[in-house]
Structure 1
Amino acid sequence: MKIIFFLLLIGYNFSYAQTAASAESLKEYTYEELQEKFYDYNYAGRSDKSKQIAQYYLAKAKKEKNNSQIAEGYAFMYVNENKENALKYIDSMSIIAKKLNENIYPTRIYLLRANVFLKFNNQKEALDNYILGLKYAKQKNNKRQIALAETNIAYLNNFIGKHAEAATVLRSYMNNADYLNANEIEKIRVNLADTYIEINKLDSATLLINKGLEVFKNKDPYRYHQYLTLAGFNNLKLKKYHNAIGNLLESKKYFLTTDDERNKNYTLFYLGQSYDKVQLKDKAVQCFVEIDSLLQKNDYVFPELRIVYTYLINYYKEKNNKETQLFYIERFLKIDQLLDAQFRYVSRELPRQYDTPKLLKEKDSIINELENKKIFFILSLCTLLLILSLLIFLYHKSKKAEKRYQKIAQDLILSVNDSTVKNETKPEKEMIPDHIHDQAVINHKPIKTISEDLTQAILKGLRNFEAKEQFLNKGVTLGSLAKKIRTNTRYLSEIINTHKGKNFAAYLNDLRIDYAINRLAHDKKFRSYKVPSIAEELGYNNEQAFTLAFKKRTGTPLSIYLKEIEKLADTEN
């Protein structure tokens, strides 16, 4: 399957017969929306609609004298044309491109020309244009265009039998090219599955094929049947001939209703080979005769045609049918000359124009690397020493910080225990260390806008809120608390700021953390909870919010506070 699927950059050409959208209905769309519609229709094989959109797009761009969009219009126009017209549209794009200062040119011109030559079975011209496109893409350092050129050259490598090299390139781009779009990655995946089969990495091919069948079943018949043909080819290699026949018969039924000559031929070719393996030679011949009939109509050639005609010649020789044997000998000689010319050129020029420059570049790179080895070693050593020094500094800094946190935690635990002794008659929730509880300076100066009676009523509501530990409830807000104590948010906010010395958020956090400090110190079961559970019981939505609030309030991380409590508990036991 050396050349299958590698013409996919042109677009999909299968069954279509829908009424074109009127030009009038396209006026409401922007250029971007027209582009999207063009690709959607073209991909779905509705070339009548995509062609009309291309015509409208180009006319609109010319009317508006928008050179960038005129170039794009020519790119749309060439897709569904014959070879001669397609090249004319690309030439027109080339003229417009000279007026544009865009990074994608002239690479784009060469890549599009290459696509046309590939579509119409001229590998020689396609290769020359891909090589030129790659050259300019590298000059412009355009990663996307480099990828498009190199993946197409990889398909040509697959064509001449250099499957392992092709697989290496395709695998690299499939996994590391986020600048390619989903359709382009999918084309790479299909071709990679093909190359895996060719180099007998059948397990890897099976994984890709099964994924494709699963993704596109009942969603995309074209791609589904692409993968089904690959499944047939894979089963042929696995010697599961009856499975292969089943796959390929279904693919044949689909592709014979389309204009996709590539997949028609390869489906028939692998079906014929599968029939031969189960000794159904008459059916194999029927498939190969059908390939020859298709070739006479469309001139689509592929390397495996030598196998097709050799099989037909030998079959009719065994049947002693001289007339038919001679017919296929003459057909073979004609096709073989064409294959030989194309194959020799691509086989010779690919290493010379693509592989050799890469090897020379690699050679220069190695020489430069050796010449700079001493400098590289010194720089690396200096960098390592710097990193080591930084790590030592950070280690000592972290140890120093850890000791500071431990001291804070120990003092905090001591304060909690002292408060417990001093306040044995008080509820546990009030046993807050003095240096934590009264950090804020509280201004008891009356608020002019709020009466003294209302102030006292709000303060009483706050005391009740604290006494009943309602601050542990989730979703407590200034609004909900104001409603609970029958006031408005402005008054409540002013009272908290004035009498508590902090805003509402800090007030709520401090109540929760003060509660946590005491309960963790005295409640062994509570300490055994996981941090997310502790956070949830304290009314926090997540663990991070709790741990950040704890450190901000106490000056030490929660983890160190818990460790110090456990150390003290172990000492006492």
Structure 2
Amino acid sequence: MSIVLIITFSKVFSQTNQYSENDLKKFKQKFYLNKETGIDSTLFFMDKLQKSTSIPYKTFGYAASEYLKIREKESLNVSFYLDSINKYLPSILKTTNNYPILFDIYILLGNSNKRKGLIKPALQDYITAENYALLANDIERTIKIKGNIALIYQDMGELDKALNKAKEALELIEINKEALSNKYYSSKYKRMFNVAAIYATLYKNDKKQHQYADSSLHYYNSILKTKEFNLNNYYTGKVYYGKGTIYTLKEEYFKASSLLEKSLEFFEKSKSQSYLYKGYYNNAYNYYMSNNLNKAKENFLKVLKIKKDTILDYNYLHTHYYLSKIHSKQNKIDSAKYHLNTFITDYGKLTSRKKQQINGAYKIDLDKKIKELKELKEYIANKSFYYKTIFIILVLILLIISLLVVKNSKEKRKANEKLHELLAKISKKEELTKKSFSTSNDIKIKGEQHEQIIKGLLKIEEKEYFLKEEFNLYNAAKKIGTNTTYLSKIIKDYKKMSFNDYTNELRINYIIEALSNNKKVRSYTTQAIGELAGYKNAKSFTRIFKKHMGITPYQFIEKIDKAL
């Protein structure tokens, strides 16, 4: 019996750990298809490599798994993979047969270190990979790694070295055009794009050197003119994005916006969320700098809509910063405060290094202001007097809230009854009744002058001039051709209300009808709905809406959605 168990175990062990060279190559190839097959499937095959008896393939399996975990931002501790790599990597024989896989391993190690922010170790890994590519006399791998090294030098700010490496790669591509065959154009495009991006960074660092901008645009334009590149939407978008960035740096904002708008069309088609995120931010910045605030706001809001992860970055923070400035200029104080507070709160979550970058960009020291606020809070917290005061205030607040709850429950009952009547009308598809001059049947006009003013008010209602932000007593009187005193008297006599009450009634009735009949409007924010009705801020709109309906706009929308 024991002999049978041993034989069975040996077979299982053999099946699990022993693979042919052909199998190992197939497993390894699965890594390069990870975006098509998915992470879980790829990790399954990398696990097979880790269990193999081949040290080179085993090491590749660990390096590939570490890279995938880091790329996917999984919280799993990847030190296990690194320990295994350090254990097996020195054991790989430095032979001609092993040069290609050693190259692949060091590329993966470099990519992992780069994603971890370990730039110098990443550079060393890439240089080691380049040596193995040269030893193997592998042109394709040599070109690829020179491009990677160029990008690392770019990240390190050593732009001259980056440019030299990128140009070395381009020269190799031209020399080996025939050998590269159908890979010639794809390799050339990547390196040309690399060179163009480096020239752009050189120009960003020194805007007096206009030849850098010209060189960058030359490479971008050459890419677009070379039909053999056969670029897809994503890569075409990247080229237009690069050109737009150059014109932003040149402060030619109109031209930059037109190029960025074009790039966004291609990124929409390719569904590239990362470049849509960057593209909308840069486009918004250009519109802001050219004082087109509405277009800038529209693009900045798209940036926030795309942002899904919780990782704070430069574009996200600056989006809130610029939105606060835009709303301030448009006198939308609540929105301005919201975005500025978000900026300050999220800024406090950044590392010291990122804070320095942002402080340099804004030319302000937010850390000092935030520190002062924290010190003030700590001082108050240490005083028992304030603790007692806070306690008393809390008790009073609770009492007030209790009274308000009782009062509100009664008001809500009345409001619900009123709303149910309204919903009954909506369900029968009846139009909402507006208390306006256009629907009143009991008006008895006293004279021609009165008739002229009432006709003017009817025209204002018909044209919906009351929805405009600038609609007020003075402008209404001017539009009708009368004076403010007489207009107020007419409204008071015939409507039994003030001009402001008349305006609010028209606006709220308009919004009630819009919310009832248009599902899209119900998806808007309170601020947006208020603006639709001509109110400057959400707070005023909500207060007036509640006064008329007995409930907030949000509660009204909830009930409408349930009823429909």
* TM-score normalised by L of structure 2: 0.43
Greater RCO, 1 or 2 (C-alpha within 8 Å, sep 6+): 1
Q: Which has the larger radius of gyration?
A: 1
